[in-house]
């Protein structure tokens, strides 16, 4: 065996930088990354991209990745979110070992470093109001003006800052600012805020502080203190990089991390902003953060997605600096690809109609072997009970079939998967004239559903379930949450909420499933043959299973029918 023809995936620009750094011996060859979520919401598929990147790069280059909570704003953060983030990152399959940190772990050090900046004349306490500061900042095209407090003495700054820490002032009375350049063309360099007063309880440090550091200050220092080598973040922080570097250059830090920006993930038919996701939850447009229609990791988990599928998806979309929109079909492909190989097959009838086999003995019943997974012969077979009265899918029968409809119709013969060939002989109608029962005869010579002795080959194979053996189930059919490819792009006066798909959830409560799944536990995934992938929802109760549809199977007939 040689590895010559092993196709090598080209490196993305970040891995290229990391490899260059390793070659040149920068950072002593160490690679340390971090995933720094703010605990103010649930993680979504966009975060998965960042998680896979950060943990992936670390693993590939023999380094490590820290999980660090960016908890510098007590008014937005909660423990519930922190717990969910821990669960989700673990579920995705990543491990930070002992390296779980919080920006708040560094509050004392961050404070001391702030005094250091003041002592060196690199920071000052401003006492302008928020509104005045905005006015002094200038605009995109006009430079800002120095605050009248910019020239306070070091002693006065130190005194004021210490009194800020001592909680002597109300919110907004003072602000610690970096002394950089009010005329900078980069707005972030016009004396950015470093510390603000927030007389508020923090979910971890409780009442220890009433001043809290800003992201732009806390982030680079946290990175440096943790000896992070490559600090990967999204594009919108690109113009913060000079400030990131400024903080590091002006303080005696133990290391010099490098910030590198990449494009965040956008996906069609999806919304990925924490604010909007929070709104969907708060306004009850969905059933919570883990609603299977949500693009949150908790939602995908409940929907039946596997961590491997999400990781493969993240690998496949790549990492670059171009803003784009990934087709949600790419994600759907990833989950089908995974489940096709791993999900046990089962027969389930979602919209049942009775199929009576007139020439099958009334009292008879038998069991057929059906493959658990044709893609994996080693998985073996399962027993499926069969009897005279079955349920088949209502849409698998048509009294007046159009061309190319190969399923059951008067006079036609189809294969019942793993059972027999069956020929439709007629229908029974209810009082309203609706077909309430389909009748047929079976060919005993086709037992097992294999080929007939005379070589007949039906053009269709139907799934079925024995009426007397079937168990009842509720099936929730999920579809995309939004009807628009870009739900954020709406006309004046409308919001993304107006783009919600009114039929994103259809609940079918009279479904029939083969008995073998009766004791399946929540989270178990199956392929319902010919229909799609489904998983058992935690809402299930004994005797009343609830399934969520993860993804449909490709349906060629539906395409043909839709094309007309």
**DSSP letter, residue 359:** T
Least distance between RNA and beta carbon 354 (Å): 20
Structure tokens at 121: 């004349």
DSSP 443-494: EGGGGGG---TT----S-EE-EEETTT-EEEEEEEE--SBSSSSTT---TT-
Closer of 428 and 560 to RNA (Cβ): 560
Known catalytic membership, residue 274 = yes
Least distance between RNA and beta carbon 505 (Å): 23
Least distance between RNA and beta carbon 522 (Å): 23
How many whole angstroms separate alpha carbon 122 and alpha carbon 120? 5
How many whole angstroms separate alpha carbon 165 and alpha carbon 196? 10
Closer of 62 and 185 to RNA (Cβ): 185
Structure tokens at 508: 């079918």
**DSSP letter, residue 308:** H
Closer of 27 and 370 to RNA (Cβ): 370
Closer of 219 and 303 to RNA (Cβ): 219
Closer of 129 and 509 to RNA (Cβ): 129
Contact between residue 256 and residue 231 where contact means Cβ atoms under 8 Å apart = no
From 38, 82, 226, 413, active-site residue: 38
**Which of 547, 548, 509, 554 minimizes the C-alpha distance to 531?**
554
Closer of 1 and 140 to RNA (Cβ): 140
From 137, 201, 256, 264, active-site residue: 264
- Dihedral sign, CA of 288, 289, 295, 301? negative
Residues 38, 41, 46, 48: what is their CA dihedral angle, to the nearest 10 degrees?
80
| Polymer length of the chain | 564
Report in angstroms the alpha-carbon separations of 148 from 122, 136, 174, 187, 563: 16, 10, 13, 19, 70
Least distance between RNA and beta carbon 94 (Å): 19
Known catalytic membership, residue 264 = yes
Cα 494 to chain center, whole Å? 26
Least distance between RNA and beta carbon 47 (Å): 11
Least distance between RNA and beta carbon 539 (Å): 25
Least distance between RNA and beta carbon 72 (Å): 4
Where are any strands of DSSP class E within 372-420? 381-387, 389-393, 413-416
Closer of 365 and 560 to RNA (Cβ): 560
Contact between residue 66 and residue 226 where contact means Cβ atoms under 8 Å apart = yes
Residues 305, 233, 187, 276: what is their CA dihedral angle, to the nearest 10 degrees?
10
Closer of 50 and 291 to RNA (Cβ): 50
Pairing of strands 389-393, 413-416: unpaired
Closer of 291 and 393 to RNA (Cβ): 393
Angle at 70 between CA 65 and CA 71, to 5 degrees: 145
The HSE-up count of residue 515 (CA atoms within 13 Å, CB side) is 11
Known catalytic membership, residue 457 = no
Q: Is 380 exposed, middle or buried (0-12, 13-18, 19+ CB in 10 A)?
A: exposed
Least distance between RNA and beta carbon 143 (Å): 8
SS3 144: coil
Least distance between RNA and beta carbon 21 (Å): 16
How many whole angstroms separate alpha carbon 32 and alpha carbon 68? 12
Q: What share of the chain is helix, strand, coil (3-state, %, to 5)?
A: 30, 25, 45
How many whole angstroms separate alpha carbon 274 and alpha carbon 169? 32
From 274, 407, 476, 525, active-site residue: 274
Least distance between RNA and beta carbon 464 (Å): 11
Contact between residue 424 and residue 355 where contact means Cβ atoms under 8 Å apart = no
How many whole angstroms separate alpha carbon 223 and alpha carbon 217? 11
- Give the residues across from 383 on adjacent strands: 369
Closer of 311 and 417 to RNA (Cβ): 417
Closer of 61 and 262 to RNA (Cβ): 262
**Which of 553, 541, 370 minimizes the C-alpha distance to 471?**
541
Least distance between RNA and beta carbon 63 (Å): 21
CB atoms within 10 A of CB 66: 23
Element of type H or E holding 431: none
Catalytic sites, residue numbers: 38, 264, 274
């Amino acid at each position: 065996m040689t590895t010559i023809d092993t196709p090598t995936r080209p490196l993305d620009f970040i891995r290229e930088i990391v490899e260059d750094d390793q070659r040149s011996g920068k950072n002593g060859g160490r690679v340390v990354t971090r995933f720094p979520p703010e605990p103010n919401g649930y993680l979504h598929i966009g975060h998965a991209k960042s998680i896979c990147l950060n943990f992936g790069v670390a693993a590939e280059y023999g380094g490590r990745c820290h999980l660090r909570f960016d908890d510098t704003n007590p008014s937005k953060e909660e423990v519930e979110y922190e717990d969910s983030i821990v669960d989700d990152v673990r579920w995705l399959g990543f491990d930070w070992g002992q390296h779980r940190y919080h920006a708040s772990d560094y509050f004392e050090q961050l404070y001391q470093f702030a005094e250091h900046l003041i002592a060196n004349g690199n920071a000052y306490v401003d006492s302008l109001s928020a509104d005045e500061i905005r006015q002094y900042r200038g605009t995109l095209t006009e430079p800002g003006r120095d605050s009248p407090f910019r020239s306070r003495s070091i002693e006065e700054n130190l005194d004021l800052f210490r009194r800020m820490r001592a909680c002597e002032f109300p919110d907004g009375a003072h602000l610690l600012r970096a002394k950089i350049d009010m005329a900078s063309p980069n707005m972030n360099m016009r004396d950015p805020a470093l510390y603000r007063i927030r007389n508020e309880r923090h979910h971890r440090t409780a009442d220890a502080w009433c001043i809290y550091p800003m992201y732009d200050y806390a982030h680079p220092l946290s990175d440096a203190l943790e000896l992070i080598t490559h600090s990967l973040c999204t594009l919108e922080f690109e113009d913060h990089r000079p400030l990131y570097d400024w903080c590091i250059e002006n303080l005696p830090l133990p290391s010099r991390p490098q910030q590198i920006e990449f494009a965040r993930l956008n996906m069609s038919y999806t919304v990925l902003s924490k604010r909007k996701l929070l709104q969907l939850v708060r306004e009850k447009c969905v059933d919570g953060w883990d609603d299977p229609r949500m693009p949150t990791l908790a939602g995908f988990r409940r929907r039946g997605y596997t961590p491997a599928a999400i990781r493969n998806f993240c690998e496949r979309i790549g990492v670059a600096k171009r803003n784009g929109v990934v087709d949600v079909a790419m994600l759907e492909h990833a989950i089908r690809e995974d489940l096709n190989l791993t999900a046990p097959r089962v027969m389930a009838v979602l919209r049942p109609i009775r199929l009576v086999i007139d020439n099958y003995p009334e009292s008879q019943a038998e069991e057929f072997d059906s493959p658990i997974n044709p893609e994996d012969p080693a998985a073996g077979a399962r027993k499926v009970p069969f009897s005279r009265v079955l349920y088949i899918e209502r849409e698998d029968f048509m009294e007046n079939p159009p061309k190319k409809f190969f399923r059951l119709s008067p006079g036609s013969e189809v294969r019942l998967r793993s059972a027999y060939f069956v020929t439709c002989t007629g229908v029974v109608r209810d009082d309203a004239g609706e077909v309430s029962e389909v009748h047929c005869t079976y060919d005993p010579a086709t037992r097992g559903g294999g080929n007939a002795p005379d070589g007949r080959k039906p053009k269709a194979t139907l799934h079925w379930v024995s009426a007397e053996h079937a168990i009842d189930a509720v099936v929730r059919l999920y579809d995309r949450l939004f009807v628009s490819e870009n739900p954020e792009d709406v006309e004046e006066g409308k919001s993304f909420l107006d783009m919600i798909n009114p039929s994103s959830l259809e609940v079918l409560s009279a479904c029939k499933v083969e008995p073998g799944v009766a004791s399946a536990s929540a989270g178990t995934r199956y392929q319902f043959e010919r229909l799609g992938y489904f998983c058992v929802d935690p809402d299930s109760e004994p005797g009343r299973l609830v399934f969520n549809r993860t993804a449909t199977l490709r349906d060629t007939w539906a395409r043909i029918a839709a094309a007309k």
